[in-house]
Amino acid sequence: MSKKFSLTNNPTILFQGDSVTDSGRKSNHNESLGDGYVMMTAAWLSSLYPEYHMKFYNRGIGGNRIRDLRKRWKKDCLDLSPNLVSILIGVNDVNWKATATESFQADYRSILELTQQSKCQIVLLEPFLVYPSGNFLELTEELNKKIEVVRKLAREFETKLIPLNDIFVKACTKRDSSFWSLDGAHPTLAGHALIAQSWIKGVIEDL
């Protein structure tokens, strides 16, 4: 597993993914961060380390699957020259028309190979579902397949891994699932804060 990210002057940190990352960002505004975990993470890091002049980008797009990320990776990642890229993708590959696990892994690996060539550090976040009233229980098997792919690739590419599904499972022992997500897929403000906290603790060297 890779070392934690060591802050340097003027780092560019990019967040990539689907609607959980998007979280209402303005697509016509280059530096819009949305109102979810990306904004929370950026705000906390900026306040903790103002001397580093960090720059943040959010390029999450609602409804994206891994194949969508692969198609737009050059424009929405490599061309931004990030020092660190954080990827949260997979929940849309788990739904009732699930992406084949082999295709999911191949597209994900392609993205990581391209990113690794740029010398950018990488953070992978597990896809997750929170289960209010058992609505998504039938998707557990497919979700676990995608999680295992992300874990395997994190080991192979020596990236940082944030085990979000396990984190939400543990959180649901403290408060019911609807506190963290009203629909099982999209976090509440508390759910977004939990992701932000987990990201900062898992990624930044000094914390």
Distance CA 9, CA 59 (A): 22
Domains annotated on the chain, with CATH:
12-203 (3.40.50.1110)
**Residues forming a β-bridge with 56:** 13
pLDDT at 152 over 90: yes
Q: How confident is the model at residue 207 (pLDDT cuts 50, 70, 90)?
A: very low
Torsion over CA: 149, 25, 114, 197 (sign): negative
pLDDT of the residue at 29: 73
Distance CA 44, CA 60 (A): 19
Are the beta carbons of 78 and 116 closer than 8 angstroms? no
Q: How confident is the model at residue 178 (pLDDT cuts 50, 70, 90)?
A: very high
pLDDT of the residue at 119: 85
Are the beta carbons of 76 and 123 closer than 8 angstroms? no
pLDDT at 3 over 60: no
Task: Record the pTM.
Answer: 0.93
Cα separations in angstroms, 205 against 85, 137, 172, 201: 16, 36, 28, 8
In this prediction, residues 164-193 reach a mean pLDDT of 94
**Side-chain half-sphere exposure of 195, counting CA atoms within 13 A:** 32
Q: How confident is the model at residue 95 (pLDDT cuts 50, 70, 90)?
A: confident
pLDDT digits (tens, 9 = 90+) for 47-94: 999 999 999 999 999 999 999 999 999 999 999 999 999 999 999 999
Q: How confident is the model at residue 134 (pLDDT cuts 50, 70, 90)?
A: low
Measured in residues, the chain has a length of 207
